[in-house]
């Protein structure tokens, strides 16, 4: 398949509010509500045909930029501004293949963001959503699914000056060899204020859905877990011990990741947590289950000091530090072994980092470097389906999922929209007394129905039930 060139003709930037059924605490913030950004893009191919595409992602406060001096509203405006900058650069670029739209404008978008005090992670948000919407449009115009199109390199992914370390890498061969998964384990997130047992709850939501960790275990039967830690060794060890008391009872065992969300000041602090965990008898089984440790150190210092001591115990990955496109290259030299894939950071970024893992593992003759699949509260519909399609393409067997737990299905969206997505993807969604919700069976998601024209979905949301995104009040 060729890599069609196209121009960006028009965009529509929309958003809508949602509320969480339970508070979710990670890092420095406790979330009770939010807004989802929805971007529509109309492209024109060189043969004159036009097609709309769509992408959706949470406007997440205090993740892309955790400066406490900024309000949540200012964080949202930063992300809106990132979308505006990405659109401006893409229109100016003219006709390009999908990957070239990203690669040829990456430096300009990042520099424009920097001039307005938007860090590279914020700047990548706008580029990521617009790239997904345009790729969705391209796939629909050609009548092919994301998996089929990417295996044929429909985006024209190739070596580029923005990734000089991959100058000789065969991207087309990597994509052609991919074998998209049809079933992926959901790695359940245990937030910092999530109740572990019923005895900890002072009040219940009582909406018929699981609330405590014990209830989650019984309902979804997960085998993979993501455990948040808060930066205080004593408090973290005590909370992890209470979590372990529940998970250790799982028949067949379990696997977990430990997420620091930048809560430790330095590598020594993160290592102190691990040493304390190792010395706590109640955590023996949990310690053995840990697959990797995610971004334990604040990003200001995470890529300044070595991580080899902690990495000797468990692999360490970067997440929030994955701002500049070469962050994983820097991290590798410091002892990091992995980097997260999040659709909010960009499809092309994830595939570039996957290529690095393949190249480095081949050069070292061992499977040391890896990608993890993480979440940014991907909501039911286009958002979660696009992320799952990407994770499946890369062959990652488990992915953090938290949107189904903290948000009740398609809450906040019209019922007809929810039913439309469920009917299009009966393997991914279940009809419940509360309406369509993500279907998790034995801790896993069946996703074969994502193999449809477009980026994981042909069904589209009800745009009339959304608000026009306001112009960014930034800087």
pLDDT in tens, the chain (475 residues): 789 999 999 999 999 999 999 998 887 788 899 999 999 999 999 999 999 999 999 999 999 999 999 999 999 999 999 999 999 999 999 999 999 999 999 999 999 999 999 999 999 999 999 999 999 999 999 999 999 999 999 999 999 999 999 999 999 999 999 999 999 999 999 999 999 999 988 889 999 999 999 999 999 999 999 999 999 999 999 999 999 999 999 989 999 999 999 999 999 999 999 999 999 999 999 999 999 999 999 999 999 989 999 999 999 999 999 999 999 999 999 999 999 999 999 999 999 999 999 999 999 999 999 999 999 999 999 999 999 999 999 999 999 999 999 999 999 999 999 999 999 999 999 999 989 999 999 999 999 999 999 999 999 999 999 999 999 999 8
193 and 70 both lie in a single domain: no
Q: Residue 97 in contact with residue 3, Cβ under 8 Å?
A: yes
DSSP H stretches of helix in 158-257: 171-176, 213-220, 233-247
266 part of a folded domain: yes
268 and 379 both lie in a single domain: yes
34 part of a folded domain: yes
- The residue assigned the tokens 């617009």 is 130
Using a 10 angstrom Cβ sphere, with 0-12 exposed, 13-18 middle and 19 or more buried, the burial of residue 442 is exposed
462 part of a folded domain: no
396: closest CA among 374, 411, 365? 374
Q: What is the CATH number of the domain that holds 305?
A: 3.20.20.120
Domain that holds residue 318: 183-455
- Per the structure, the count of domains in the chain is 2
User: What pLDDT, on the 0 to 100 scale, is given for residue 29?
Assistant: 80
468 part of a folded domain: no
Q: Residue 58 in contact with residue 37, Cβ under 8 Å?
A: yes
Alpha-carbon gap, residue 267 to 296, rounded angstroms: 8
Peptide bond into 475 cis (omega under 30): yes
User: What pLDDT, on the 0 to 100 scale, is given for residue 26?
Assistant: 82
313: closest CA among 340, 367, 369, 274? 274
Q: pTM for this structure?
A: 0.97
């Amino acid at each position: 398949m060729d890599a069609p060139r196209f121009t960006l003709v028009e965009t529509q930037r929309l958003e809508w509010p949602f509320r969480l059924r339970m508070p979710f605490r990670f890092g420095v913030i406790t979330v009770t509500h939010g807004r989802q950004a929805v971007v529509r893009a109309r492209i024109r191919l060189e043969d004159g045909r036009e097609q709309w595409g769509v992408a959706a992602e949470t406007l997440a406060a205090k993740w892309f930029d955790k400066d406490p001096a900024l309000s949540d509203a200012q964080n949202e405006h930063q992300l809106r501004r990132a979308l505006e900058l990405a659109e401006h650069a893409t229109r100016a670029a003219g006709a390009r293949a999908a990957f070239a739209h990203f690669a040829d404008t990456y430096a300009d978008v990042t520099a424009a963001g920097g001039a307005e005090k938007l860090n590279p992670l914020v700047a990548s948000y706008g580029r990521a959503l617009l790239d997904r919407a345009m790729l969705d449009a391209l796939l629909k115009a050609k009548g092919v699914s994301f998996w089929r199109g990417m295996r044929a390199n429909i985006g024209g992914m190739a070596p580029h000056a923005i990734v000089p370390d991959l100058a000789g890498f065969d991207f087309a061969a990597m994509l052609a060899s991919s074998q998209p998964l049809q079933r992926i384990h959901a790695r359940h997130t245990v937030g910092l204020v999530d109740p572990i047992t019923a005895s900890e709850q002072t009040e219940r939501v009582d909406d018929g859905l699981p609330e405590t960790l014990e209830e989650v275990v019984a309902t979804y039967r997960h085998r993979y877990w993501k455990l948040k830690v808060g930066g205080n060794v004593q408090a973290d060890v005590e909370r992890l011990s209470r979590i372990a008391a529940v998970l250790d009872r799982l028949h067949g065992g379990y696997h977990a990741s430990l997420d620091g969300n930048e809560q430790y000041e330095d590598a020594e602090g993160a290592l102190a947590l691990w040493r304390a965990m190792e010395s706590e008898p109640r955590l023996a089984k949990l310690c053995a289950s840990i697959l990797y440790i995610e971004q334990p150190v604040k990003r200001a210092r995470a890529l300044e000091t070595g991580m080899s001591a902690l990495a000797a115990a468990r692999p360490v990955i970067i997440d929030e530090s994955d701002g500049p496109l070469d962050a994983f290259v820097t991290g590798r030299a410091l002892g990091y072994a992995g980097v997260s894939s999040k659709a909010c950071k960009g499809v092309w970024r994830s595939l570039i980092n996957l290529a690095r893992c393949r190249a480095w593992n081949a050069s070292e003759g061992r499977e040391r470097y890896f990608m993890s699949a993480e979440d940014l509260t991907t909501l039911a519909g286009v958002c979660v389906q696009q992320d799952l399609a990407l994770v499946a393409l890369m062959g990652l067997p488990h992915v953090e999922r938290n949107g189904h737990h903290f948000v009740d299905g398609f809450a906040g969206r019209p019922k007809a929209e929810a039913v439309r997505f469920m009917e299009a993807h009966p393997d991914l969604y279940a009809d419940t007394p509360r309406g369509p919700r993500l279907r998790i069976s034995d801790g896993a998601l069946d996703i074969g129905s994502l193999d449809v024209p477009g980026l994981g979905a042909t069904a589209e949301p009800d745009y009339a039930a959304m608000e026009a995104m306001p112009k960014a009040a930034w800087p």
